Amino acid sequence: MPDTIPSLYPPIAPLRHGMLAVDGLHTIYWEEVGNPNGIPVLFLHGGPGAGLSPAHRRFFDPQQYRVILFDQRGAGKSSPLGECRNNTTQLLIADIERLRAMFGIGQWLVFGGSWGSTLALAYGQAHPERCLGFVLRGIFLCTQREIDFFLDGAEWFHPDVYDEFVSQLPAEERGDLLRAFVKRIMSDDPAVYWPAARAWSRFEGRRVFLMPQPEEPPSDTLDLGVGRLESHYMANLGFFEPDQLLNNVDRIAHLPVVIVQGRYDVICPPVSAWRLHKAWPGSVLKMIPDAGHGAMETGITRALVGATEQFKRLRHFE
């Protein structure tokens, strides 16, 4: 990739932001960044439940892009935090369409990483006519194999992290980690759900980067959002039919896509990116040789920004 590609654009404040009530229970936070007359792009955060970060605005040239970002149901500044009722992929897709209509956007580029890539694919397959193309990172197809790898596969690469995670459970419940953690995380008792949610969030967070990073202090917003919503969506297989996102690729196969994947991603393993690439004629797969799962790892960041730079020219990726 040319050295002229920036790693990230400078920090930028939203042009405007607000809250949108999407039903009688959920209200979602949204923000608009960049050039109001620029190429529209939808940013989809990961998790589910991880929420937005100011760094997410920085993948896009603010002179050329009009970026719409939002905290999905139960995440970040949206309320109620960690709420799993009325929270399905199909409802998130409906929320995206409400935002698109609210902003008066006909078509937009869809950018998502990790769970954001899952939601991007689901949204695109439901509304292909609304999409200009896709930039996807850390592919997660929400299959049972991937969920099993996320939970039990951690023992192969991070046995210390895995042991700390399962130590939250009595030995007789360790044969089904998802079921055991869902039972605790969804409890009404704070003395039960907080330790389980923090353990879940820490279990994931310690495996995101290829190289160890300084651990951040616990965050109530992140821990409860990620703990509850990830376990909720995994327990329901993302509200998809088996391999639905691959089986329906033909609905968006005419659109350009760049897939960015860390070679040593132990959260969303590279096989999922490879499967998507093989199923999507014309897709571009950028396998980053020295990266794990994190969007802010240098090679992944540069590849993502490089993809948005290419898309500014409104032509298929090379």
To the query of whether residue 163 is one of the catalytic residues in this protein, the response is no
Q: Which two tokens stand for residue 264?
A: 């040593």
**Is 5 part of any domain?**
no
Q: What domain range includes position 234?
A: 144-238
Tell me: do 24 and 121 sit in the same domain.
yes
Confidence at residue 316, expressed as pLDDT on a 0 to 100 scale: 41
Confidence at residue 318, expressed as pLDDT on a 0 to 100 scale: 38
Could you report the per-residue pLDDT of 87-123, keeping only the tens digit for each?
Answer: 999 999 999 999 999 999 999 999 999 999 999 999 9
Tell me: do 178 and 232 sit in the same domain.
yes
Tell me: do 114 and 151 sit in the same domain.
no
Which domain-ending residue is among 238, 254, 276?
238
Tell me: do 49 and 180 sit in the same domain.
no
Which domain-ending residue is among 220, 238, 256?
238
Confidence at residue 212, expressed as pLDDT on a 0 to 100 scale: 83
Q: Which listed residue (114, 117, 201, 231) is catalytic?
A: 114
Could you report the per-residue pLDDT of 1-21, keeping only the tens digit for each?
Answer: 444 566 899 999 999 999 999
User: Does the structure show a pLDDT above 80 at 315?
Assistant: no
Tell me: do 246 and 103 sit in the same domain.
yes
Tell me: do 131 and 215 sit in the same domain.
no
Total structural domains within the chain: 2
Tell me: do 135 and 148 sit in the same domain.
no
211: left (phi over 0), alpha (psi -120 to 50) or beta: beta
pTM reported for the whole predicted model: 0.95
Tell me: do 36 and 149 sit in the same domain.
no
Confidence at residue 313, expressed as pLDDT on a 0 to 100 scale: 81
Residues 230-258, mean pLDDT to the nearest whole number:
98
Tell me: do 229 and 130 sit in the same domain.
no
Maximal CA-CA distance, the chain: 58
Closest by CA position to 84, among listed 112, 119, 49:
49
**Is 2 part of any domain?**
no
Confidence at residue 171, expressed as pLDDT on a 0 to 100 scale: 95
Tell me: do 252 and 285 sit in the same domain.
yes
Q: Which listed residue (117, 232, 265, 272) is catalytic?
A: 265
Could you report the per-residue pLDDT of 137-191, keeping only the tens digit for each?
Answer: 999 999 999 999 999 999 999 999 999 999 999 999 999 999 999 999 999 999 9
To the query of whether residue 114 is one of the catalytic residues in this protein, the response is yes
Which domain-ending residue is among 188, 212, 238?
238
Element (H, E) at 111: strand 108-113
To the query of whether residue 293 is one of the catalytic residues in this protein, the response is yes
For residue 302, the domain's CATH number is 3.40.50.1820
**DSSP per-residue letters across 213-235:** -PPPPP-HHHHHHHHHHHHHHHH
Q: Which parts of 152-239 fold into alpha helices (H)? A: 154-157, 159-166, 177-185, 190-205, 220-235
Tell me: do 151 and 112 sit in the same domain.
no
